[in-house]
Every structure is written in structure tokens, then in C-alpha cells.
Amino acid sequence: MKSKSTVTVLLLVLFALSAVSAQESEQTVPREKTATIEELYLQSGDIMIMREMAFLDDRDMKLMSLNMLEESIKDGSFGTGDPGAHFVLDYLSEEGISRIVRENNRTVNYFPTVRREACRLLGELGGENSKDTLLNVLKTDDDPVVLAEAAYALGTIGIDEEGEVSRAIAFALQNQDQMVPNDNFAHASLLAIQKLIEKNGSTNNNRQVYAAVVQIAQNGNYIRPVKEKAYQVISLMREQN
């Protein structure tokens, strides 16, 4: 754990960089109210550093924040659904989509790699809040690589007692351009549906899920491994229902 003095220096540097960045950019969504110094010391110094790095309008700093988060998840510093970790991941999952930074009327924070990594770590963090954030990503994001990571992360979390998650994945699949579908997103979604069935026992006889999987199996625009995975998931659904 970093010493108190080291944390203080890092925070001061990050706050200074954040202030400069805020003057240079116009954000469509206001930043979270800045905490007082007393409030900062009531929280983990590491998570506050991660948060300030995430706030900066710099792709590399955001990725560094995600790397620190991943290390903390792996070493057990953050348990399932940790609120501090979730705040950072939720924030970064919207980078350039729901939360836009513009300079001279140009979006400067459209970072799919950041959003993808945030989705992957939300799957590792787990919990209801992570599930809800990932469902929002499926509804709002426009990058198939990010969507693939969000779908797979939802399968990793495995919460789907009412069938809400499998329906959301099916809806996103059916909203693809069926003439030029994305094989990676389809395969990740099929793996997620498979995981959800294995963890929850069924898809609650959801017609939309069946339709989405059958559509992949019958669509000649998908590559063979994706179609084969679709047939495997169909067999699994038949076994479970």
C-alpha cells in the first residue's frame, strides 16, 4: 500500500491535470462533484487515484486506471460489486457514448478500447450493478467489439433469473445488420447465452432468444464456427426446456 505522502502527491498532480483538462474541454455531462480532502482520506487512496485518472481526457491515463483496477480485482482488494471499482468502470463504459467530450465541435473521447476493457472488468467484478451497466452498454454502444465484450461479460456474471439478460443479448443480436453481421459479436453472444443457460437452468422459454439463435444458425452470412456454435446452443436449449 502506498504511503500517505505518496498518495497525497499523486492526488495533487492528478487534480492539477484534471483542472487543466476541464478548462480545455466541454463536457455534455457534468463531472461528479469534487470530494473534500477529508472525504478523500476516508476512502482508499488507490481508488481515488484510479478515479482521477479515469476523469482525465486522455486515453492512456484511462487505460492505466483500468490496469490498476484489474490488478486490484485479481489480488482481492475489490470484492464482488465493490462500489468504488464499479463507479470507475461504469464511468469508463460510457466514454464517448453517453458521456461526450467535445473540442471545436468534435468528439475527442471516443475510445472503444477503453469501453471494451471496462466491460471486461465489469464481468470480472460481477454483481447486480455491473450487470445493469453492461445491459446499458448493449442498448447504447455502437461498436461491435465493445458489444461482444459486454455480452460475454454478462455471461460471466451469470445473473439471469428472470431472463432479462438473455433477452437483451437476443435483441442486440437481432439489431445487427443481417447482411453484414459481426461474427465476433455473434459468437460472444452465443457463448454468453450458453453460460446463462448453464448457470440458470433455462432461458425461461423465451421466444426472442430462440429466434435470435436460430437466425444465426440459418444465416449464410455467418462463418461456419459461429453457425456451429449456434447449433450447439440450440441443442442445449432443447435439453434444458
Nearest by Cα to 35 from 25, 26, 44, 22: 44
- pLDDT tens digits for range 95-139: 999 989 999 999 999 999 999 999 999 999 999 999 999 999 999
pLDDT grade, residue 7 (50/70/90)?
very low
What SS3 class is residue 99? strand
Q: Return the amino acid letter for 183.
A: D
204 falls in which pLDDT band (50, 70, 90)? low
Residue 220 has pLDDT above 60, yes or no: yes
Among 18-27, 75-84, 143-152, top mean pLDDT goes to 143-152
What are the residue ranges of helices labelled H in the chain? 4-24, 37-41, 45-55, 59-74, 83-93, 112-125, 128-140, 144-157, 164-174, 183-200, 207-218, 224-240
Per-residue confidence (pLDDT) for residue 197, from 0 to 100: 92
For the chain, give the mean pLDDT: 85
Q: Return the domain boundaries, the chain.
A: 1-125, 158-241
d(CA 142, CA 50): 26
Residue 40 clears pLDDT 50, i.e. is over it: no
pTM of the model: 0.82
Question: Cβ of 162: how many Cβ atoms within 10 Å?
Answer: 11
pLDDT of residue 162: 87
* Neighbour-count burial for 37-63, b at 16+ CB within 10 Å, e otherwise: eeebeeebbbbbbbbbbbbbbebebbb
pLDDT band at 207 (very low <50, low <70, confident <90, very high): confident
User: Higher-confidence residue: 147 or 16?
Assistant: 147
The x, y and z cell numbers of residue 37, run together, are 480532502
- Determine the length of the chain: 241
Strands 106-107 and 101-103: antiparallel
Q: Which residues, other chains included, contact 167 with Cβ-Cβ below 8 Å and sequence gap of 6+?
A: 206, 208, 209
Q: Quick one: pLDDT band at residue 142, thresholds 50, 70, 90?
A: very high
In the predicted structure, residue 214 carries a pLDDT above the cut 90:
yes
Predicted confidence (pLDDT) at residue 38 exceeds the cutoff of 70: no
